[in-house]
Amino acid sequence: MKTALPLSLEDFLAALPGNYTNADRVLVQRAYRLAERVHNGQKRASGDPYINHCLAVASALAGLHMPADVVAAGLLHDTVEDTSITLDDLRRDFGDAIAKLVDGVTKLTQLPRVSRGEHQEELQNNVSLAGIIEQAEDEQSRRTRKRTLAIETLRKTFLAMGDDVRVVLIKLADRLHNMHTLGFFPEQKRRRIAQETLDIFAPLANRLGIWQIKWELEDLAFRYVNPEKYKEIAEQLAERLELREQQIQQIVEQFKRVLAEHGIQAEIYGRPKHIYSIYKKMTEKGKSFEMVRDVRGVRLLVPDVPACYAALGVIHTRWRPIPNEFDDYIAVPKDNFYQSLHTAVIYDDGKPVEVQIRTPEMDESAEMGIAAHWRYKEGGQRDKYDERISWLRKLMEWRQDIDDAQEFVDSMKTDVFQDRVYVFTPRGDIIDLPAGSTPIDFAYHVHTDIGNRCRGAKINGKLIPLEHELHTGDQVEILTAKHGGPSRDWLNPSLGLVRTQRARSKIRAWFKKQDREQNLAQGKALFEHEIQRLGLSEFDEKALEEIGRSLDYRSLDDIYVAIGSSDLSVGRLINKLLETKETDDILVVVPSTSAPPSTGSVTVLGLKDILTNSARCCNPTPGDDIIGYITRGRGATIHRQDCPNILRIRDRERLVKVSWGEHVHTYPVPISISAYDRQGLMSDITSLLNTESVNILDANVRVSKNLADLRLVIEVMDIAQLSRILARIENLPNVLEAQRLRGG
């Protein structure tokens, strides 16, 4: 594939904005010389010298009339990440402002990378079936991780908009040149990057009002996302190019003549056809290319706002306007500050012509968006910049609290990049919402508390259902309750009550807050009940917190909340607790294994062939923390670490460290069962124990006032089996409680 000719330094310097001072030009040249030196020998995927990419990014920024320090940062944007240059070096040589910009761009992209070459080599070296399966699973994990990292990068990009929008402009310029050279990458990577550009970066440029970058990103990305349709539309456009240009020229001359007759001077030119915009019109309106291609477009630039409306009146008088095709974005600008009059008329040949009418200032703002702020020096037309930055920060404000990167990006795609509707509060304030929003979305946009207490709504004074879709111009009044909160039904997508991610996040946050205290208490009670039921000693909170962190829970309370909400199994937690307890100088922790532990006995650490026997006072079971006590003439007696008899021993020198053996063995454990007496109760318990292959060594049943108290001694292999048996017994009808008895 032939790459584009590299931009020369002379061409680049000649294209710098005319208002640059000599000092500005010297700064840019110094940045170029440093970038050229430190990137020397580095190549792009296209084979071009890396400095060409730096020049392309800087040229795009210069085309937006960005200040010299931003253009210099564009030249240096990859130096900290890809060369030996440090931020301190940049700060020393170029000042704090440029260093901060480069640091901002670096932070947006500084994420771990996976070497595809290394992975492929490993895959080729391992041809066994097991190896292939393992490598396939690793590949899936790698792809998931890369997608997570990519989403997190986008999240950081959005948040950076509220800090310094110039960082995002550099990022957009970087993405623009990457899209121009995308053809040198493998197809799968091309499609992924192109789709990401269509979903995120082109809409981002649109929301910043930078039309010239937005449409270029769209066409470049569409070429790789849907190459067949791109080629089809491009070829059909090329076939009619000469005829279309002739028609546009005739329309332009006719418009000029008609407007001049009414004393209106206008600069008129045809609007270029963008392939992706044609494709969107075809898909959204269900039209074929034959129906779309004849829609001609012209743009009128007139001196001031009154002339915009005067020109509109003349055009509507001379040609018949098409119903529902008029939009006044001068009186009601778009939320990205775009202003223009849009209309469509039937021309003399019976075919439609789309018309945009605006002032030169509006046109520059539409093409360059927020970047138009830097077009002028101090004292120029900069009054709307603060409004734009305020809008960006407000846009980002509530998303700062979203921890999940995927949810964050989803919220941007639904709440920020969709088409908009403009509705009014009862006081006349304009509220900007995604198209398709409902009164509940409106309520949460106004204030979280109003959303939580929303119970109904009026549109233009009339009561409407909460699933009603809002339209531009609606006046919305929310009816609220004094107390209460949202309904869980609002989150049901089939009901269509909530359309924006912002409202969904606020509703989930409300329920999460309400449920947390209840789940916390319930989870703590369940955990303590299980500890007590198994007759375990008091647990180590620090060890439990460590386990929680390994499972991505930040605190002990979070662990209890997860148990209470059924996100975490109590049995799983206790098994992990037994696995990770630490030993101290005297007491030994029993390791938990997936295989049933047991032996012919217990291993005494440091001593061989010593006789051991279980203490009848506490009946230790695998899974318990145990300790050995050297007796006179009978070897070592094995006790649980919390056995009262052990705790009372004064002769600590006779205590020895012990651990469970490695051969299958069962251990007697006394349990207590409390239940309402009924026929067949003991039979059900016996049947359950048989299914677990558990023997009953002893049984004692007492019944008093219809309450049955059963004391059994059963043989189990470990704590995990005991926990499962007790839980199953408690699930039997009429059983109130089943727990392990402490002591004999």
Q: Which residues pair with 640 in a beta bridge?
A: 626
Hey, which residues does 321 pair with through a beta bridge?
345
Tokens 């439990």, located at residue: 544
Per the DSSP assignment, residues forming a β-bridge with 424 are: 430, 475
Which is more confidently placed, 663 or 13? 13
Quick: pLDDT tens for 710-743: 999 898 877 778 888 888 898 888 898 888 886 5
Mean pLDDT over 280-284 rounds to: 76
Q: Which residues, in sequence order, are bridge partners of residue 676?
A: 707
Q: What is the mean pLDDT of the chain?
A: 77
Burial of 668 (0-12, 13-18, 19+ CB in 10 A): middle
Cα–Cα distance measured from residue 551 to residue 531, given in angstroms and rounded to the nearest whole number:
20
| Mode of pairing for the β-strands spanning 612-614 and 636-640 | parallel
- First and final C-alpha spacing in the chain: 83
Q: Which amino acid is at 74?
A: G
Q: How many C-beta atoms lie closer than 10 Å to residue 465's C-beta?
A: 11
How far apart, in whole angstroms, are the C-alpha atoms of residue 332 and residue 9? 44
The DSSP code sequence of 90-154 is: HHHHH-HHHHHHHHHHHHHH------HHHHHHHHHH--SHHHHHHHHHHHHHHHHHHHHHHHHHH
Q: Which of 11, 48, 82, 199 is catalytic?
A: 82
Average pLDDT over residues 639-650: 82
pLDDT in tens, 373-395: 555 444 444 445 555 555 555 55
Q: What burial class does residue 705 get, using C-beta atoms within 10 Å of its C-beta: 0-12 exposed, 13-18 middle, 19+ buried?
A: exposed
Q: Which two tokens stand for residue 504?
A: 């969904």
Share of the chain above pLDDT 70, in %: 75
- pLDDT number for residue 546: 82
Average of pLDDT values for 294-311?
88
Look up residue 200 and give its DSSP letter: I
Q: What's the confidence (pLDDT) of residue 119?
A: 36
Check residues 59 and 373 and name the one with the higher pLDDT: 59
3-state secondary structure of 268: strand
- For 243, 267, 280, 406, 415, the CA distances from 410, given in Å and listed in that order, are 43, 41, 21, 6, 8
User: What confidence score (pLDDT) does residue 274 get?
Assistant: 82
In the chain, the amino acid numbered 169 is L
Query: Buried b / exposed e across 555-577, counting CB within 10 Å, b at 16+?
Result: ebbbbbbbbbbeebebeebbbbb
Q: Which listed residue (10, 24, 81, 245) is catalytic?
A: 81
Distance CA 587, CA 281 (A): 75
How many Å apart are CA 204 and CA 158, to the nearest integer? Answer: 9
Q: Is the pLDDT of residue 591 over 50?
A: no
Max Cα distance, the chain (Å): 124
Closest by alpha carbon to 741, among 681, 700, 707, 703?
700
Q: What is the pLDDT of residue 358?
A: 94
DSSP code for 43: B
Within 8 A by CB and 6+ apart from 50, the residues are: 39, 42, 43, 44, 78, 82
SS3 692: coil
The rounded distance, in Å, linking the Cα atoms of 326 and 343 is 4
> Is residue 360 within 8 Å of residue 445, measured between CB atoms?
no
Mean pLDDT in residue range 152-159? 52
Instruction: Return the pLDDT at 539.
Output: 65
Distance of alpha carbon 55 from alpha carbon 11, whole angstroms = 10
For 331-367, the pLDDT digits (tens) are: 888 766 778 999 999 998 888 888 999 998 888 877 7
pLDDT of residue 255: 93
Residues 30 and 654: their CA atoms lie apart, in Å, by 80
pLDDT on residue 439: 94
Compute the distance between CA of residue 138 and CA of residue 144 in angstroms, rounded to an integer: 10
Q: Is the pLDDT of residue 149 over 60?
A: no
Q: What pLDDT does 665 receive?
A: 67
What is the arrangement of strands in the sheet containing 462-464, beginning at the earlier edge strand? 462-464, 454-459, 476-480
Q: How confident is the model at residue 628 (pLDDT cuts 50, 70, 90)?
A: confident
Q: Which residues pair with 270 in a beta bridge?
A: 298
Measuring CA to CA, which residue among 411, 457, 453 is closest to residue 434?
Answer: 411
Q: Is residue 312 pLDDT above 90, yes or no? A: yes
Q: What are phi and psi of 188, to 5 degrees?
A: -60, -40
Pairing state between β 602-604 and 658-660: antiparallel
Distance of CA 352 to the CA centre of its chain: 43
Q: Which of 119-128, 209-218, 695-704 comes out lowest in average pLDDT?
A: 119-128
Query: What radius of gyration, in Å, describes the C-alpha atoms of the chain?
Result: 37
Asked if the model's pLDDT at residue 588 lies above 70, the reply is no
Both structure tokens of 216: 């270029």
Interatomic CA distance for residues 455 and 10, integer angstroms:
66
Kindly tell me if the per-residue pLDDT of 496 is higher than 70.
Answer: yes
Geometric angle at alpha carbon 301, from 299 and 302, rounded to 5°: 140
pLDDT at residue 709, rounded to an integer: 92
Neighbouring C-beta atoms of residue 485, cutoff 10 Å: 16
Catalytic status, residue 82: yes
Mean pLDDT over 408-419 rounds to 53
This prediction's pTM? 0.51
Active site residue 432: no
Q: In 510-537, which positions are buried (b, 16+ CB within 10 angstroms) versus exposed (e)?
A: eeeeeebeebbebbbebbeebbebbbbe
Separation of alpha carbons 481 and 483, rounded Å: 5
Beta bridge partners of 346: 320, 352
Q: Which two tokens stand for residue 23?
A: 């000092």
